[in-house]
A and B are shown apart, each in its own frame.
Chain A
Amino acid sequence: MLSFNTLVAVCLVYVMLLFLVAFGADRSAARNKNRFLNSPLIYTLSLSVYCTAWTFYGAVGYAARSGLEFVTIYLGPTLVMIGWWWFLRKLVRVGRTQRVTSIADLLSSRYGKSNLLGVIVTLIAVVGTTPYIALQLQSVTLSFSVFARDRSAGWVLPDLDATALWVAGGLALFTILFGTRNLDVNERHHGVVTAIAVEAVVKLVALLAVGAFVVWGVGGGPSGIATAVDEAMRAAPGEAWAIKGGRWVGLTFLSAAAFLTLPRMFQVLVVENLDERQLSMASWAFPTYLFLMSLFVLPIAVVGLATLPVGENPDLFVLTIPLHYDRDGLAMLSFLGGFSSATSMVIVASIALSTMVSNHIVMPIWLSTRPGGASVSGDVRQILLTARRLSIIAVLALGYLYFRISGGGAALAAIGLISFTGVAQVLPALAGGLFWRGASRNGAAAGLLTGFAIWAYTLFLPSFGEAGVMSASLLADGPLGIGWLKPQALFGVAGLDPVVHAILWSMILNTATFVTVSLLSFPSPLERLQGAQFVNVLDQSGPAKGWTMPMATAEDLLIMAQRIMGADEAQALFQAQAASQGKGGYLPDTTPDFIARLERELAGSVGAATAHAMIAQIMGGATVSVDDLMAVADETQQMLEYSQRLEAKQSELTTTARQLSAANEKLTQLSIQKDAFLSQISHELRTPMTSIRAFSEILRDGGTAHPDAAGRHASIIHDEAVRLTRLLDDLLDLSVLENGQVELNPQRDVLSNLLDRSVSATSSVIDAEGLRVRRYPMHEQVELVTDTDRLVQVFINLIANAAKYCDASDKQLRIKVGRRDGELRVDFVDNGSGIPPESEALIFEKFSRLTDQAAAGGAGLGLAICQEIMGKLGGTIAYLPGQSGGAFRVTLPLEKPA
């Protein structure tokens, strides 16, 4: 009775209806009349996207094959909704506060906005979901085939593959129309969610109707069903219906994990969530929905086994039982229920996957291939939509491909479990990201890749069958005959169910890798900040919050402060604060006072507004994006570095300026000294010249005839000329000595001889001044090799000085000789009052006469010359303070005895 045309027409009408519902919902959402749309009921019903064609058809088949084990698939989500409510709430809160668009986006955002991670999760999701989509194709195709086989009313399906292709194409079109109809891709899909809710009702009603018909129409009420169950259990081959503890635990865990990580579940749970309070109703309503969905699964299975011909596919009992009893209407409803299940899953999954693919793969590639890709113009939205549409087609094409390659033969439940295990690999990174601040990007990536690889190796690739991707020998003996690498018995763990085996190894190694690499790698600041945001999301964005935050926030504040103020200053500030609170370390309690103080400190570097935004960002109440914040912080850091460089430059300049100033001062001093020197020379030359000129003029004019006077005048001229000559000699001597152009003439002699020469050379002045010279000849027998003439010159100077300047009434000079440390010391000590301490530093300067000119009789160059000479001879001359009178010491290195 049900013709192909009728079936297709009903399908089309149904789809049109859904489309209208979606359209209406979008319209009313746009007009803000969305109170109904926001109701937790819609949200709860949209969660039913978990119940796919697998649940609708496959659960019955599962029950027919393995008894009650199908319950695990409902048990997992139920446990999550009831027992892991806190996990869900955190997930939803994070999703809302971070405005994530998919599970890939969430992980990428959590781990420092790493697109690498986004790509990995996207690929896992695509590969993991592909079997699932194939499963929907298969179930819809099978349901068509049921009608075709049972009813030869006008049409015969030509080919299952072709049907699947038609179905895939239709679903792609359907999804594109639904999921990407909105130009604004960032908004929630009100229409789709409402349509999904309608479909949820349809599939529940259909399954309940079939169930009621089976129980009361065919099976003879609950008691009849109970009998049928007993019979079926006895009839089941081997241990098929026995409850296996390991499988139960594994599958319950798996379905719970999949409930959280499946892209379509994440889409409806988190992305489409409008209000966190929707969760509280869903937490009891959705388990109820699941309970109702599972209520009649076992009865349908046992009645199907008992009443239908042997060999009938139990996956299709929901359809075949009504058809068997010629209930066309019920069959139609059942078909629509299955169709709803399949379409809702495919639509939501494709939307979720296409969002990931376009956001994490297509757009980055497109942007990077564009010249000047950073400047995004208005056409991006259209590009994005196109990318999503193409992604949807690609996803469905992949599903179809899997359907073709896997041969469409595997039981629905088996395909579903493979898919679950694949996407469950995201769980460790997800849970770690939400609850463990130490979780790092590298850890997440390594864990995901490890788990994914093991899943592919132990479950996904073998699922293509022995003639599929893996050879039979590889499956039986392992790669290259290595037994412990057998895909379905890794590390020698044999005898496990393949699914449990895959769950066990993939999750253990995934988690272990994730934790290990996280512990070993150091997260970037952005990662740490995002980590804190995610882990502390419930504390931060709670409705009533003061500035009372856990220790973790102090660490974030410190990290931020270091970026702004520099590590040393920030640590000092925090340490001081911690110390004032009586704590060690760098992490004080974040008291309001401290927060206010820190804000002021930061404001000094970045300005008050930015500082407040930064503090607010970390303490909660996020109003700026982390990216903005980081950009600000980085900029500030750069400015800080720049200003530090400027500071360094400035201090360098200051130093240079100081050096220049010192050099300038020195030059000025030298210039003054030079002027003074020239002035001195001028005076010293002009004075004798004056006498010479005056007397020579007197002589020339012949103004006096007195011969005695003339003779006297002539002798004055002579004396002054001698004095002038001596002065010039001294100047030249000094000049030569100072310029280092002097040639030494070393000779061997005994010190006593040199002193004899010196004393006799000064005998005239000694006699004139009445100086007594005391010597110690015993000590003077020292042999020297030096420029003896120069040394005698020094001695003469010292003796003459003593004669001229000693102010004692009974002038006396002692010449003492000593030897010490390989040097010869000759001390000239007189009995006068010596040189005043304030003048000691001056006496070796040129023209430094301490007494008046007349008494000195020299130009004051003597000691300066002596000093130059001793320097040339390798010795020294110094004034000895603290002696009984004026005292000079001449030292000279002694030759070592050969």
Chain B
Amino acid sequence: MTKQVLVIEDEPNIVEAISFILSRDGWKVSTHANGETAVQAVYDASPDVLILDVMLPGRSGYDILKDLRANDATRTLPVLMLTARGQRTDRELAQRLGVSKFMTKPFSNAEVLETLNDLVSG
């Protein structure tokens, strides 16, 4: 069965790169670029796994993650957070909020793929 991934990211080039990589690997990819409507997008798409940027227009990835973890439907949804701000405090904050995996940009394509596969199979 085809796994579905939702990519919430506002940099168009990065969205295109991730989409290309995952599609090629057989994922069903949907994307969303706005922070404010991201939570609703998650409910609408109900993906198997979520890729979440931190610095989004309108709302930060942390706030979105908090909302998702507060809702029963998405409490256990695997979330891979990608950020260009790779400081330790950012990582700690994400982990406290219940992130499944935290990666800093720029990332290795293979690593992203491997992580996503781990998250959906585990």
Contact of B14 among A694, A719, A852 (CB under 8 A): A694
B57, CB-defined interface residue at 8 Å: yes
A560 to chain B, nearest CB (A): 69
A853, CB-defined interface residue at 8 Å: yes
On whether the beta carbons of B57 and A697 are closer than 8 Å, the reply is no
Give chain A's interface secondary structure class. helix
A697 to chain B, nearest CB (A): 5
CB contacts under 8 Å to B, within A676-692, are 679, 682-687, 689-692
A708 to chain B, nearest CB (A): 13
- Enumerate the 4 nearest inter-chain pairs by beta-carbon distance, A residue then B residue, closest first: A852-B57, A694-B17, A686-B84, A690-B105
B95 to chain A, nearest CB (A): 18
* Chain A residues near B57 (CB-CB < 8 A): 852-854
On whether the beta carbons of B109 and A682 are closer than 8 Å, the reply is no
A695, CB-defined interface residue at 8 Å: yes
B43, CB-defined interface residue at 8 Å: no
On whether the beta carbons of B17 and A691 are closer than 8 Å, the reply is yes
* Chain A residues near B33 (CB-CB < 8 A): 854
Instruction: For A684, give the chain B residue with the smallest CB separation.
Output: B84
In addition to A687-B14, A694-B18, 9 A-B residue pairs with Cβ atoms within 8 Å of each other are A683-B55, A683-B85, A686-B105, A690-B14, A701-B109, A703-B21, A716-B16, A720-B13, A853-B57
A579 to chain B, nearest CB (A): 67
| Chain B positions 100 through 114: 1 when the CB is less than 8 Å from some CB of chain A, otherwise 0 | 000011111110000
| Chain B positions 40 through 53: 1 when the CB is less than 8 Å from some CB of chain A, otherwise 0 | 00000000000000
Contact of B105 among A687, A697, A701 (CB under 8 A): A687
Given known contacts A687-B11, A687-B14, A691-B13, A697 and B20 CB-to-CB distance under 8 angstroms: no
On whether the beta carbons of B17 and A698 are closer than 8 Å, the reply is yes
Q: Bound state CA distance, A156 and B32, in angstroms?
A: 154
B26, CB-defined interface residue at 8 Å: no
On whether the beta carbons of B84 and A854 are closer than 8 Å, the reply is no
On whether the beta carbons of B107 and A690 are closer than 8 Å, the reply is yes
On whether the beta carbons of A694 and B10 are closer than 8 Å, the reply is no
* Chain A residues near B87 (CB-CB < 8 A): 679, 682
* Chain A residues near B14 (CB-CB < 8 A): 687, 690-691, 694
A693, CB-defined interface residue at 8 Å: yes
On whether the beta carbons of A695 and B85 are closer than 8 Å, the reply is no
Q: Bound state CA distance, A697 and B20, in angstroms?
A: 12
On whether the beta carbons of B11 and A698 are closer than 8 Å, the reply is no
The 22 sampled A-B contact pairs (Cβ below 8 Å) are: A679-B87, A682-B87, A686-B84, A686-B104, A687-B14, A689-B105, A690-B11, A690-B84, A690-B107, A693-B106, A693-B108, A694-B18, A695-B13, A697-B108, A698-B21, A703-B24, A716-B17, A719-B13, A852-B57, A853-B57, A854-B11, A854-B12
CB contacts under 8 Å to B, within A709-736, are 709, 713, 716, 719-720
On whether the beta carbons of A687 and B84 are closer than 8 Å, the reply is yes
* Chain A residues near B106 (CB-CB < 8 A): 686, 689-690, 692-694
* Chain A residues near B24 (CB-CB < 8 A): 703-704
| Chain B positions 61 through 98: 1 when the CB is less than 8 Å from some CB of chain A, otherwise 0 | 00000000000000000000000111100000000000
Instruction: For B9, give the chain A residue with the smallest CB separation.
Output: A690
* Chain B residues near A682 (CB-CB < 8 A): 84-87
Contact of A853 among B10, B16, B109 (CB under 8 A): B10
On whether the beta carbons of A852 and B11 are closer than 8 Å, the reply is no
Which of B11, B58, B110 counts the most A-chain CB atoms under 10 A from its CB?
Answer: B11
* Chain B residues near A691 (CB-CB < 8 A): 11, 13-14, 17
Instruction: For A688, give the chain B residue with the smallest CB separation.
Output: B13
| Chain A positions 266 through 305: 1 when the CB is less than 8 Å from some CB of chain B, otherwise 0 | 0000000000000000000000000000000000000000
| Chain A positions 648 through 687: 1 when the CB is less than 8 Å from some CB of chain B, otherwise 0 | 0000000000000000000000000000000100111111
* Chain A residues near B108 (CB-CB < 8 A): 693, 697
* Chain A residues near B18 (CB-CB < 8 A): 694
Which of B12, B105, B110 counts the most A-chain CB atoms under 10 A from its CB?
Answer: B105
CB contacts under 8 Å to A, within B1-35, are 10-14, 16-18, 20-21, 24, 33
* Chain A residues near B58 (CB-CB < 8 A): 852
A391 to chain B, nearest CB (A): 97
Q: Bound state CA distance, A701 and B108, in angstroms?
A: 12
A727 to chain B, nearest CB (A): 13
B7 to chain A, nearest CB (A): 12
Instruction: For B34, give the chain A residue with the smallest CB separation.
Output: A852
Q: Bound state CA distance, A703 and B13, in angstroms?
A: 18
* Chain A residues near B10 (CB-CB < 8 A): 852-854
Given known contacts A683-B55, A687-B84, A695 and B12 CB-to-CB distance under 8 angstroms: no
Instruction: For B104, give the chain A residue with the smallest CB separation.
Output: A686
A342 to chain B, nearest CB (A): 114
* Chain B residues near A852 (CB-CB < 8 A): 10, 57-58
* Chain A residues near B86 (CB-CB < 8 A): 682, 686
Instruction: For A694, give the chain B residue with the smallest CB separation.
Output: B17
Given known contacts A683-B55, A853-B55, A694 and B21 CB-to-CB distance under 8 angstroms: yes
* Chain B residues near A695 (CB-CB < 8 A): 13, 17
Instruction: For A703, give the chain B residue with the smallest CB separation.
Output: B24
* Chain A residues near B17 (CB-CB < 8 A): 690-691, 694-695, 698, 716
B119 to chain A, nearest CB (A): 19
* Chain B residues near A694 (CB-CB < 8 A): 14, 17-18, 21, 106-107, 109
Q: Bound state CA distance, A432 and B49, in angstroms?
A: 113
Q: Bound state CA distance, A697 and B107, in angstroms?
A: 10
* Chain B residues near A689 (CB-CB < 8 A): 105-106
A890 to chain B, nearest CB (A): 30
Q: Bound state CA distance, A694 and B105, in angstroms?
A: 10
* Chain A residues near B84 (CB-CB < 8 A): 682-687, 690
On whether the beta carbons of A697 and B109 are closer than 8 Å, the reply is yes
A35 to chain B, nearest CB (A): 104
B50 to chain A, nearest CB (A): 18
B111 to chain A, nearest CB (A): 10
| Chain A positions 140 through 179: 1 when the CB is less than 8 Å from some CB of chain B, otherwise 0 | 0000000000000000000000000000000000000000
Q: Bound state CA distance, A716 and B57, in angstroms?
A: 22
Q: Bound state CA distance, A85 and B33, in angstroms?
A: 118
* Chain B residues near A720 (CB-CB < 8 A): 13
Q: Bound state CA distance, A456 and B106, in angstroms?
A: 117
Which of B17, B24, B58 counts the most A-chain CB atoms under 10 A from its CB?
Answer: B17
Q: Bound state CA distance, A685 and B84, in angstroms?
A: 8
A892 to chain B, nearest CB (A): 36
Q: Bound state CA distance, A703 and B18, in angstroms?
A: 13
Q: Bound state CA distance, A685 and B58, in angstroms?
A: 22
Q: Bound state CA distance, A697 and B13, in angstroms?
A: 14
Q: Bound state CA distance, A421 and B74, in angstroms?
A: 125
Q: Bound state CA distance, A689 and B83, in angstroms?
A: 12
B38 to chain A, nearest CB (A): 14
